[in-house]
Amino acid sequence: MTEEARRTFHHDLDDLKERIVEFAALVAETIPRATRALLDMDLELAKQVIEYDDELDARSLAIEEACHRLLALQQPMAGDLRAIITAVKLNWELERSADLAVNLAKTVRRIYQVPLDPRLRGLIEQMGEEAYLLTSRAVEAYATGDATLAEALDDMDDPLDALQVQYVQTIIDHHERQGLDLQVAVQLALIGRYYERIGDHAVNVGERIRYMVTGLVAESPGGPGDTHAP
């Protein structure tokens, strides 16, 4: 690769990183918006979150095409190759998080006018805050190339997992003791699952970043559903 071609390549690589950071920030912002739509039973806000996903999908597709173009035309090696592979993986993880925020917003339509118990409201609010925090920290780790922060995301996910367990148990208690409708209970339980999965995607992003920065591949514990770099 000539010096001019290398300069152009690294310019394109920097541009790709900027686009991912911007995309990630936009995805992160959908989480509190979807949470607010849930807590307020705001159909209009839920609709906005759902419709905005088209914009996010378009951005994700453009990033994917840019990654493929760089791989095909430049044939990068070592750190540059890891950066592009990471970009591909992060794009996928972030797009899935955006889809989960849409699922949260769609739930507003399914449980509209169902009164939320204060305990459930409080747990939804906390899960939303934790999911947003994890995603935002993942964006920060990528933007700064902070492998330490990226690795810490796994431990930072523990509070969200604990909240999700409390949340599901609260739903079960309400169903058994207060006669909460089963279909409503299922829809409410899915809310907790969506937040938990957003947290999992943030942890996966952290593993991709660690791989990008250090070249080290996270060891898989072998559990179902685990996703690890590269």
**Mean pLDDT, all residues of the chain:** 90
Share of the chain above pLDDT 90, in %: 70
Q: What residue segments make up the domains of the chain, in order of their start?
A: 3-214
pLDDT of 1 reads 57
pLDDT of 2 reads 67
pLDDT of 89 reads 94
What is the pTM for the complete model shown? 0.89
Q: Domain 3-214 carries which CATH code?
A: 1.20.58.220
3-state secondary structure the chain: CCHHHHHHHHHHHHHHHHHHHHHHHHHHHHHHHHHHHHHHCCHHHHHHHHHHHHHHHHHHHHHHHHHHHHHHHHCCCHHHHHHHHHHHHHHHHHHHHHHHHHHHHHHHHHCCCCCCCHHHHHHHHHHHHHHHHHHHHHHHHHHHCCHHHHHHHHHHCHHHHHHHHHHHHHHHHHHHHHCCCHHHHHHHHHHHHHHHHHHHHHHHHHHHHHHHHHCCCCCCCCCCCCCCCC
